[in-house]
Structure 1
Amino acid sequence: MLPVSTAVANQLEAGYQEMKPWTETWKEELACALEVGAAGEEKVSYQLWPEHNRPLNGINSCDSEPIISSDLFCAARCFRGDAAANGSIYSLNMEKQLPNRPFARYQVIYKDRKTAFLLKPNLAPSSYHGRCPVAKILRGLTVGLPVVRGFDRRSWNRLQGPKKAAVTAEEVPAVNAQEEISSECPACSAEKDRGQITDLVLVAHGIGQKIAERVESYHFTHAINSFRRAVNIELGNPTIQNVLRADQNGFMILPLNWRVGLSFDSDDATPTGTKDTTGSFDLKDIEPSTIPAVRSMISDVMFDIPFYMSHHKIKMITALVREANRVYRLWCRNNPGFSDKGRVHLIAHSLGSVMAVDILSRQPTSVPRLNLCTPIAPDDQHFEFNTTNLFLAGSPAGFFLLLEKGALMPRCGRTKAGADDGDVVAKNVVGEAGTFGCLAVDNVYNVLAKEDPIAYLLTGAIDPSYSSSLKVAYVPSVTPSLISTVRDAIRQVVPGLNPEPDPLAIEPQRPTTARMPSQLELEIHDFTREEIAEKKAYLLNDNGQIDWFLRSSGGPLEIQYLNMLSAHTSYWTNQDFIRMVCLEIGRKPGRSHTFPAMRAVKKTKRDGKK
């Protein structure tokens, strides 16, 4: 018994996933095939190498992605996890003269979850020739070449003894020509040349992930996989690459599925050894049996909010912290040196943003780097990493700050590029750890879809007067508006008009003109309060503001009440939000390196300032 080549193993596994021979449905299909005969057996036969999978001479050799190793481990690991979904195991320089692949015209019969049979063409099921190999296989006979999935070499050696069977050259399956050419994985080589990822982005979901335990399509991981691919595509844009910092070397975006496996049953509320005499009950004990589909949807989606506002809050926060630290430890274990040089950012959606604000309010101002060599259990109270940027999407955090009578303020002693050393310790500007709303981060971004009914503003939680003095800020749009398109067309026709300024260009800071305010302004404004509020805003975000709206794309006929149905879940596919994440994480830190389109702009009298 010998292992098959890696390329053949990959094809066998692909057929295994497609045919699903471990299910009861497959057993029924085999039984039906026996009743029908040879024509039925043809339906349960799997072509090992489908014709449409054959490499063609004429593949575009300009493809920027290198080939993926046929090794299963490399294929799953390389290219940030996207290789298995997007790549190819064939060489870009494949020629017609290369020998055929192993078992090129063979078919596969999957007997059960472990056993399959490779049948050459003259043994495969055929209604024309009346061949019925499936019937023989199910009777226990061996037809063709048997293959065992998950073969254990140690168990085989124990059963067969230490002697080794002589193997002739004819018995060894032919290996793929590409494997003979080079044993090195091209994708691994490209990854080494690319260097280590510099920015790890962790994404915490909000309400509704309980339903993912029943409906796979609702799983948060699927949305983040698409979001990661969109971010990687955006990072490849030359316009974006020109404004990224010199040491920036790519993002890795990973989901935090903190809700999976979390239970709110009442059995854990009774102390150990104490007899329950109160008749404690669960949700299922009080839920009527009427309209079960609607009730199940509500309990799986909407009840996360009241659970968070109950005594279960600590359990939910602990679950998020544990999941974040677990993912971070795995990442550092697989990427040595990241804890020394890498940066960690957090994107939190919906209820997850409220939990993130709560955790970062209690987070130490600075966390020592993670040392995996020391056998210390993961922390379940604080993140084991320093958070550089916090993105809140569709966040009701402002409402929870109102409920808790909190305020958004920078952390005392939290130094960052471009910040005044005196401001980070001024008692009237910064707060202490443990104060709800005093976050241990460098920058906070609160992004709102215009029609999102769950999202609330946050700049007002710094200072209401300062918030009202700012213009409404929008995330710079990727797609040009109709007016800008017409304006650009006019500029091309009419000579002498100034070109449109680049919103991504870094402008040098102009010196401010010293001007004493008039007596009238002194009577209206409290300049000391405005100065303190502005210092807080710039310590919380280099741009001097917290809130940004996403522009609607519905045009003049958009209906807000229809858009609100999908607005709360639209962030992961919004191209403007994707570009904003790329730019703000990838730019150089500091107030002087912000983009003009992202900076806070004060209202003027023309704008209706009061």
Structure 2
Amino acid sequence: MRFLLKIQVRRLTTQWYYASDIARMRPYEPDYKPPSSPQVFQKLSVEDSMELEKRYRALLGAKDSSEKVVSPSVQVGEDDLYTVDVRDFTISPTYWKGPTYEVRRGLWFNSNGTPLESHLCAELEDMSNTKNEVQKLKGDYPEGKYALFTEDSTNTGFVLKNLDGGKLFLNYLKSGLGSIMPINGVAVYKGEKKPLDFNKIDDILVNSLMKDIENIEKFQDDGKSKEKKTKKKEVPAGESIASNLTNWDLFENMPSIFSTTGADKAPEASDVDEDYMEQVQTHDDPLNGKRKIKDLVLCVHGIGQTLGKKYEYVNFAHTVNLLRTNIKNLYSESAQLKDLNKLQGHADWDMNSGIQVLPITWRHSIKFKTESQGDEIDNPELPSLDDITVSGILPLRKLMGDVALDVLLYGEIYYQKIILDTVMKELNDTYTLFLEKNPTFDGRVHLIGHSLGSLILFDLLSQHRHYKLKFPVSHFFSIGSPVGLIKLVERTRIGSRQGPKQRTSLRINKPKCQELYNVYHTCDPVAYRMEPLVDVEMAQFEQEYLPHWSELDGFTSKMIEMSGSLWEGLPGMGATEPTNNDMYRGNNGKVEKIQSANAATQLKITGELKRKLTALNCNGRVDYSLRPNILDVDVIAALKSHVSYFEETDIAGFVMLELLKPHTEADEISVKKT
């Protein structure tokens, strides 16, 4: 009988961490200074830590060889969206500009389990062999200026702010009480596993604080008087010894005694920064790891003048992160979407949608005449925007400028060319970088444009001879778009390069993409329809509604049905009752009446109109609307609807469905009268 002995060998590696609370640098904020050192650190995945440690050691080895060149950059996080520089110990986004955070090797830790920064770790490593002697640190560290290691262990010690306590203080630390309750500094230990003595820190109560401090008086220094031994001021009658310990920054270190996370000391992190850094952590889950990407989606922002300049690098990256998260979560819950990928023969269909979305930021690199600061004006003969702004109802004027001013700028040919050139460059640069980081990528590229971003992309695709992208565009989703309004003002119609030739005296824009979608909320004051610009007869029919995605399919569907019937009863919302005029022939028999299961009249589009629509989109519908909530009737809800598209799960579901399903031309197009 043979026995097989299986020995499981665990590959040891140094754990790496990244800060998630305090940024080291922020783009476009040259005066930014971190308010404090970071206190909250998260683990990078085991896979990422192994790669970082390997590269770090290789970089150290390269210092001894003039011929060996080692790149300090390592891709980490979900789909390698972030880059760590192991030379500078920083982490930042790979494909867009965002805050830079600190990275640390898990070599030495403080009593809260927070890894110490690399230079301090290096000094502690060198000093840890010297026992019972206070050693001066070379660097300037928030933890302190001095290091002390005792005979008890080579892996534990203290970093002290000063030596005001003299030998009494040092004896206290050496006694073992210091590791339980460090005063005037922090206890430190080597290795990720905390020594047993350190675990007592979590159990210390406020009422035991004074008792432990009073134990200091028990330590005697041989052959010296008590006054000389303690080297401290006389304690006036009626005062406890604790009052003198304030010179040792006792109360400054209180949080380290009663907290295991260090969050007490850290400034409150914003939700945006937390979300920004959340996708660095893959939790070693294959759903969040490195995937094969089949569909790359580049998203172009449309935030207004002031917001775009000051906040877009945070907010837009944040909103695209929300879209990415919604896509991931919906795919994990949808058997239908998984089946679509499975039918296409993708081996990892059960875990991987194959879709990646990246933000394209452009506003920060353009300086317009409308900038508030005078030194950014490109022509000194013109005033700045502030110079001509009326002071009354200033907050409202600022709001209108944030929402509308970039659209007005885009209408000026001089600025329009600057914007188009800039966005084209950002798109091409991001695509080139993606290919560099993903050399096996052979999938499709799609575009999403929000607000002004959709207008920019529409014109880029329509003027492709002047603005050349390095990739063909498959699907173009125009979200919350003013394209319809702008093209109407320009007396321009919308057509397809593959569709029938249209007889018109007007100019026709034909965006170079396979599928065109115009998605909006009916309450969005910035959004307009496109289909009537394809053919004016489409103005008589409702837009299509997005399918709703929810775990509670039965309940949600019933609520949608009820909501739909409520809206259809309001003026201008939903279909009308059938009339004698519901049978249409139009030109060339475009529209025919068909029977519907509900009271609303359903019509079927045929002939030339069908060919026009299916040439733009194989579904035969370009305009798609989110169903409005019955309460979305005020101004605040209307403005919110324009900026919340990337948070909508229905948007994420619709994008996934259109990217994953096989595209065949619709046999018929059903519409309802407006």
Secondary structure in structure 1 of the residue aligned to 2:455: helix
Aligned partners of 1:427 and 1:54: how far apart in 2? Answer: 59
Given that 1:397 and 1:456 are in contact with CA atoms closer than 8 Å, whether structure 2 keeps it comes out as yes
> Residue 624 of structure 2: which of 525, 548, 556 is its match?
548
**Match status 1:362 vs 2:423:** no
Q: CA separation of 1:292/1:229 partners in 2, compared to 1, >3 Å: closer, same or farther?
A: same
What amino acid sits opposite 1:579 in the alignment? G
- Taking structure 2 as the reference length, the TM-score comes to 0.53
Matches within 5 A, 1:173-572: 196-208=292-304, 210-215=306-311, 219-236=315-332, 237-244=334-341, 246=344, 250-265=354-369, 279-287=381-389, 296-310=398-412, 311-338=414-441, 341-364=442-465, 381-412=467-498, 424=499, 426-428=500-502, 436-468=508-540, 470-479=541-550, 480=553, 484-485=557-558, 525-527=586-588, 531-552=607-628, 554-555=629-630, 557-572=631-646
Q: Secondary structure at the match of 1:230?
A: helix
Shift of 1:75: 6.3
CA deviation vs aligned residue, 1:83-132 (integer Å, no higher than 9, x gap):
99xxxxxxxxxxxxxxxx74455679999997678779x99xxxxxxx99
For the residues of structure 1 that align with 2:25 and 2:432, how far apart are their CA atoms?
Answer: 36
Q: Percent identity?
A: 23
Q: Distance in 2 between matches of 1:350 and 1:483?
A: 29
Q: How does 1:46-61 map to 2 (within 5 A)?
A: none
Residue matched to 1:602: 671
Higher strand share: 2
Uncovered stretches (5+) of structure 1, i.e. residues with no partner: 27-43, 56-64, 85-100, 124-130, 148-172, 178-184, 268-274, 365-379, 413-423, 489-519
2:49 corresponds, among 57, 66, 69, to 69
Instruction: Tell me if the contact between 2:107 and 2:121 (Cα under 8 Å) persists in the aligned partners.
Output: no
Q: Cα gap change, 1:263/1:404 in structure 2, threshold over 3 Å: closer, same or farther?
A: same
1:527 alignment partner, SS class: coil
| TM superposition shift of 1:332 | 1.3
Distance in 1 (alpha carbons) for counterparts of 2:619 and 2:339: 20
CA distance in 2, matches of 1:224, 1:300: 20
Task: Output one character per residue of 1:138-186: Cα deviation in whole Å (capped at 9) or x when no partner.
Answer: 8996525999xxxxxxxxxxxxxxxxxxxxxxxxx98879xxxxxxx99
Distance in 2, matches of 1:443 and 1:281, equals: 44
8 Å Cα contact 1:444/1:541 also seen in 2: yes
Equivalent pair of 2:46/2:284 in contact (CA under 8 Å): no
2:147 counterpart SS class: coil
2:445 counterpart SS class: strand
Match of 2:663 in 1: 589
2:147 aligned residue? 143
User: Which structure is richer in relative contact order (CA contacts within 8 A, separation 6 or more)?
Assistant: 1
Say whether the 8 Å CA contact 1:350–1:454 is kept in structure 2: yes
Q: Distance in 1 between matches of 2:138 and 2:440?
A: 57
Is the contact made by 2:303 and 2:312 (CA closer than 8 Å) also made in structure 1? no
Q: Which moved more, 1:243-252 or 1:479-488?
A: 479-488
Separation of aligned partners in 1, 2:396 and 2:473 = 39
**In structure 2, do the counterparts of structure 1 residues 550 and 330 end up closer, same or farther at CA, with 3 Å as the change threshold?**
same
CA 1:186–1:528: 2 relative to 1, 3 Å: closer
Give the conservation status (yes or no) of the 8 Å contact 2:109–2:192. no
Structure 1 residue 601 displacement after superposition: 1.0
Q: Matched residue pairs, number?
A: 435
Structure 1 residues 188 and 314 mapped into 2: Cα distance closer, same or farther (>3 Å)?
farther
Residue 10 (structure 1) aligns with: 17
After superposition, the C-alpha distances for 1:519-578 in whole angstroms (9 at most, x for unaligned) are x999953216662221010110111111111012x35x5535442131111211111111
Aligned to 1:411, what secondary structure does the other structure show?
coil
CA distance in 2, matches of 1:477, 1:262: 38
- Judging changes above 3 Å, is the alpha-carbon distance between structure 1 residues 352 and 108 closer, same or farther for their aligned structure 2 residues? same
What is the alpha-carbon distance in structure 1 between the residues aligned to residue 620 and residue 671 of structure 2? 10
Per-residue Cα deviation, 1:406-454 (whole angstroms, up to 9, x for no partner)? 1111114xxxxxxxxxxx5x534899xx965211111111111121111
Distance in 2 of aligned mates of 1:330 and 1:136: 37
The CA RMSD measured in Å over matched residues stands at 5.2
1:454–1:109 distance in 2 versus 1, CA, 3 Å: closer
Q: CA deviation at 1:381?
A: 2.2
CA change 1:195–1:576 in 2 (3 A) is closer
Distance 1:114 1:212, change over 3 A: farther
TM-score when normalising by structure 1: 0.58
Q: Are the structure 2 counterparts of residues 560 and 67 from structure 1 closer, same or farther at C-alpha, using a change threshold of 3 Å? A: farther
Contact 1:344/1:387 (8 A) holds in 2: yes
SS at match of 1:452: coil
Contact 1:429 1:532 in 2 (8 A): no
The 10-residue stretch of structure 1 (434-443 or 199-208) with the greater mean CA deviation from structure 2 = 434-443
Do 1:207 and 1:305's aligned partners in 2 also have CA atoms closer than 8 Å? Answer: no
- SS at the partner of 1:441? coil
